[in-house]
Amino acid sequence: MTPSSALWLSIVLGSFAQIFLKKGVTRNAKASGGYLALLRSAWVWLWAVCFFIATALWLVALSRIQLSYAFPLLSSGYVIVALLSTFFLKERISWMRWLAILVISLGIAVTWGSA
């Protein structure tokens, strides 16, 4: 696996992880029992696995790619999570929120694109 594909896979898996977590805790919000009850949710386990693999891939990528190249790409995660949330969670995103997400992504890209 090339460092670049490890980086992209990390970003996409990390984005899916947030969607899985939302699925898991939303279902569990109906049942009480706190954090331990979350362990019964397959979505929460899926989140944990994706989060772990994404972190490992991120470290693999970082060991071979410059930070100033890797971090700006990380900002695409905000857009990916937003897109996934409209598809899989049916979240409605207003133009104001899209604008906010794009501005934040731009800010991250500028922050880490400039050494």
Partner 1 sequence: MQSEVLRKPLRLDRPANGHSPAQALPWQFAALGAILLASAGHLLIKLGLNTAVHGSIPGTAVANAFHTLLQPALILGLGIYGIGTLLWISAVSRRNISFLYPLTALNYVIVSMGGLLWFGERISMGRWAGIAIVVIGVALLQLSSGEDQ
Q: How far is the CB of 36 from partner 1 (least distance, A)?
A: 9
- Quick check: 73 binds partner 1 (CB under 8 A)? no
- Residues numbered 21 to 50 that lie near partner 1 (CB under 8 A) are 21-22, 25-26, 28-35, 38
Q: What is the dihedral of CA 14, 55, 30, 42, to 10 degrees?
A: 90
Largest CA distance in the chain: 48
Helices 3-28, 42-62: axis angle to 10 degrees equals 160
- Quick check: 103 binds partner 1 (CB under 8 A)? yes
Reading the block at residue 22, the tokens are 């939302």
Q: How far apart (Å, rounded) are the C-alpha atoms in residues 96 and 4?
A: 32
- Residues numbered 5 to 24 that lie near partner 1 (CB under 8 A) are 18-19, 21-22
Reading the block at residue 56, the tokens are 């490992």
Question: Which of 40, 56, 67, 97 touches partner 1 by CB under 8 A?
Answer: 97
Reading the block at residue 70, the tokens are 């890797």
Only segment of 1-9, 59-67, 97-105 that touches partner 1 (CB under 8 A): 97-105
The residues that touch partner 1, with contacts defined as CB under 8 A, are: 18-19, 21-22, 25-26, 28-35, 38, 75, 77-78, 81-82, 85-86, 89, 91-94, 96-97, 99-115
